[in-house]
Amino acid sequence: MQKRGKLVAVCVAGVAMAVCSVASQAVASVYTLPPGGNILANSSTFPVGGTILDTVTTPFTSSTIDGTVISQVISGDSSNPYGGLTFTYSLSLNMFSSDSASEMTIGSYGGFVTDVSYNLIGGEVAPSNFTRSTTGNGSVIRFSWSNGGGIMPGQTGALIVVQTAAQAFTSASGGVIDSQTVNISTLAPVPEPGVASLFVAALGAFALWRRNSK
């Protein structure tokens, strides 16, 4: 019984250390977008270096919006403050698209610390702000172009850069939005249980052991 108690205690301590470790990495900047957050879009020169692990090009079409989203995942981005994977997204509309695009959403970011910025190569449309959902521990990130009517037909939005501590990636769902939402497939982090949830579970296991031992 004593050995089991020690094991549970070690698990609780280990998870607590993990919480502290993650917290120490989360150094806020003008780019940091927490769950439920809403920040002005700031330009950057990110990513810096690294290796492109995968690229997904997703054409989309509807009765009003037509275009393409290109997503990439990069390992070894030296400007990433969290030391994990960096994800980039580029949204462009075809010349014959009958409507503009004001927003794009990407899912699968729940539980991750994120820095979000954009960079311009020349002629792209800069975003206005970035928001993140409160549900799902911040699972959905929204990129908005609310200035000047959004991305017009024949235009390309600025490259959106999302830096994370994630170590793995997967296909995820997203959407391009204006008068309607068009579903798209992109790259995003592999969903992971939040460290805080693991901590609570470990505390629960410890309390249950204490009660049973009595």
Full-model pTM: 0.81
- For residue 153, cis peptide bond before it (omega within 30 degrees of 0): no
Query: For 142-199, how does the pLDDT look when each residue is reduced to its tens digit (9 = 90+)?
Result: 999 998 889 999 999 999 999 999 999 999 999 999 888 999 999 999 986 654 444 4
Query: For 57-84, how does the pLDDT look when each residue is reduced to its tens digit (9 = 90+)?
Result: 999 999 999 999 999 999 999 999 999 9
CA distance 192 to 112: 8
Indicate the pLDDT class of residue 109, thresholds 50, 70 and 90.
Answer: very high
pLDDT of residue 211: 52
| Number of Cβ atoms within 10 Å of the Cβ of 76 | 15
Higher pLDDT, 212 or 191: 191
CA distance 141 to 123: 24
Residues 6+ apart with CB under 8 A from 76: 49, 50, 51
pLDDT of residue 193: 60
pLDDT of residue 152: 96
Query: For 198-208, how does the pLDDT look when each residue is reduced to its tens digit (9 = 90+)?
Result: 444 444 444 44
Query: For 16-64, how does the pLDDT look when each residue is reduced to its tens digit (9 = 90+)?
Result: 444 444 443 557 899 999 999 999 999 999 999 999 999 999 999 999 9
Complete domains list, the chain, with CATH:
27-193 (2.60.40)
- Rounded to 5°, the CA angle 15-37-66 comes to 115
pLDDT of residue 24: 39
